[in-house]
Structure 1
Amino acid sequence: MTLSAAFECPAKLAGELADSVQYQGRKTSRQGSEQRRLAILDATLRIIVRDGLRGVRHRAVAAEAGVPLSATTYYFKDIRDLITDSFVLFVERSSASLSLLWADVARDFQRLVEPVASDPQVRRQMAERVIALMVAHVEAKAREGNAELLVELAFRQEALTNPTLTPLALSHQQLRYQFAELALRALGSAAPVEDAQVLTTLVLRMEYHALVDGVENLDIEGQRAVLQRFLDLVIRA
């Protein structure tokens, strides 16, 4: 596989993950039932953002979703299934969104892949593009009220003790590694697999600061400088 073709892999993997998720709760066949099930899961995610996992109770979710209490127990036999399926919905949506984003990014990168090895200016241009994408990714999450960041953090924490979610969390995390690895490989990293883990950790650190500091106090330029410093060290040649 050529490097140019390989840039399609993250989008393909993200799409495959979105298509492969498996729900634990009762399956639905009617549109109205499916809409109610999704309303319950969306309500669960809102409660997780607002009150944390401890706030997820059948009665609280039913009130948040505007459905009878019996509806939550009909679709989900217990709280664990309800929490699990809410995170499955998050991964499904997140992966589908990443698939579309990376398919678009791949077109830009494919244009730069051929000359990047021999032209330092093109290499710098690609590095700037990678930084811009990662900063925009964190900024967008932060400006949406941190809801996605909080859900993802809660998802990773729940996956530590919920074996049903563990493989899903690992697959979701692998999407980050895959994109970072291919970008770093194109930039000329001598150790793209290892460097991808460092770069992904730096982005997770940015997301943490977005949560703790708040979007209004988020030092975007400082975070951008950290990413630039790392890439300068990695692609120095």
Structure 2
Amino acid sequence: MGQLQNPGLQAHSELPENRLLRQSIRYRGRKTLRVKSELRRLKILEATLRIAARDGLRGIKHRAVAREAKVPLAATTYYFRDIHELISDSFMLFAEKARDNLDGFYDTINLVLDTIPAETLRRRGPQRSELAARLSVISTAYLHEQFTKRRQQMLAEQVFLMEALRDDRLAGLARSYREAWTAGLRQILERLDSPSPERDATLLVNVTLGMGYDSLLNDERVDYSALSETVARVIGLALGEQEVLPA
């Protein structure tokens, strides 16, 4: 890829949208001060996420969660006043984990871009197609892992996002979650001199959501070759390396 643009890696400040998501994650259940209590609270929330992924929100009941978490029934009602508070806090935990997972992926991409010459980062620059291919390989590996090894989390995501359509109290967090996802991509696309970073970031998020939904329908049977071709296509479009021809 040529000489390093900078011998030191660039620092990437937190995006406003990421700060918004971080600020939106506010647990409503009983606050804990002791480590043992906090571990039990998290155990209950993790159990709630498993039930949401397996049975949907209709399966979330205090008794079912206590059984799944292997804690006394009184523990769930002690930490959470009602079912909605339990559901809300489990969505908060999901969003927190998803944010950290996404941040790790974006950090990987940004670290790669830190090693790329400035002229290659510019649209139509030299070795642009090689950069697109490299980003496609990284992105395909990431998505394949999500689709095959994080099925439970993806199911929970679908459940909570659908519930947010009906529950204004969850809708705000769902919007912040989506905006943080899009904003991270937009920042990367701006570095790559994308023709339309806002539009293309939204496109990439929508395509990824669609592919994730398809992988859930196909029961984890993910065709790596087909996934790779799709990822390469959308990244090529976003980087201005491919033109969309009229039908």
Which TM-score bucket, shorter chain as reference? 0.7 to 0.9
Match of 2:144 in 1: 139
> Structure 2 counterpart of 1:200, which letter?
V
Equivalent position SS for 1:166: helix
Deviation at 1:121, TM superposition (A): 4.4
TM-score (norm 2): 0.83
Q: How many residues align?
A: 232
CA contact (8 A) 2:48 2:60 kept: yes
The reply on whether 1:38 has 2:19 as its aligned counterpart is no
Q: Which runs of 5+ in 2 are unaligned?
A: 1-8, 243-247
C-alpha separation in 2, matches of 1:22 and 1:193: 28
CA contact (8 A) 1:12 1:99 kept: no
Deviation at 1:7, TM superposition (A): 8.0
Match of 1:175 in 2: 180
Equivalent position SS for 1:111: coil
Normalized per residue, the structure richer in helix is 1
The reply on whether 1:199 has 2:204 as its aligned counterpart is yes
Q: Which runs of 5+ in 1 are unaligned?
A: none
C-alpha separation in 2, matches of 1:79 and 1:129: 46
Match of 1:166 in 2: 171
1:29-178 alignment to 2 at 5 Å?
A: 29-112=33-116, 114-116=118-120, 117=122, 120-144=125-149, 146-178=151-183
Deviation at 1:119, TM superposition (A): 6.5
CA contact (8 A) 1:10 1:102 kept: no
| Cα gap change, 1:109 to 1:10, in 2 (>3 Å) | farther
Q: What's the C-alpha RMSD, in Å, of the aligned pairs?
A: 2.6
CA contact (8 A) 1:41 1:89 kept: yes
Match of 2:190 in 1: 185
TM-score (norm 1): 0.86
Residue identity over aligned pairs, in percent, reads 35
CA contact (8 A) 1:138 1:206 kept: no
CA contact (8 A) 2:21 2:180 kept: no
CA contact (8 A) 1:15 1:99 kept: no
C-alpha separation in 2, matches of 1:134 and 1:206: 13
Farther-moved stretch of structure 1 (25-34 vs 14-23): 14-23
Q: Per-residue displacement from partner, 1:55-103 (whole Å, max 9, x unpaired)?
A: 1000000111111111111111111110110010111122123333323
Equivalent position SS for 1:112: coil
Deviation at 1:18, TM superposition (A): 4.3
